Structure 1
């Protein structure tokens, strides 16, 4: 299939540590190509290879 972009709203992010924790979690996930965390907008944009990851797995990484 290819590369997919997903945007998630993340309520409750209150500091840069929260944003960095999310970024680190995704950086350790095989198939994630890029992640951008906006603390100000409480959003996460994830670019991933949908041959390696499903949308559910991407969401699970955020929940964990």
Structure 2
């Protein structure tokens, strides 16, 4: 699954750059590239643990 997320990011970035390269750019291709890029970034960010969650958990254990 991690490999798929990186593929989505690379694929979305390539599509967005391709749409931006031409003088007569296609807005729909650019938007779809950005959407694919953002889906990949979102999926990766879900796997990163929150720093605030670990600080809150440690803080409550010290007070108990």
- What interval of TM-score do these two structures reach, taking the shorter chain for normalisation? under 0.3
Higher helix proportion, which one? 2
What is the TM-score when the length of structure 1 is the normalising length? Answer: 0.27
Of structures 1 and 2, the one with the larger relative CO (CA 8 A, separation 6+) is: 1
Which structure: larger Rg? 2
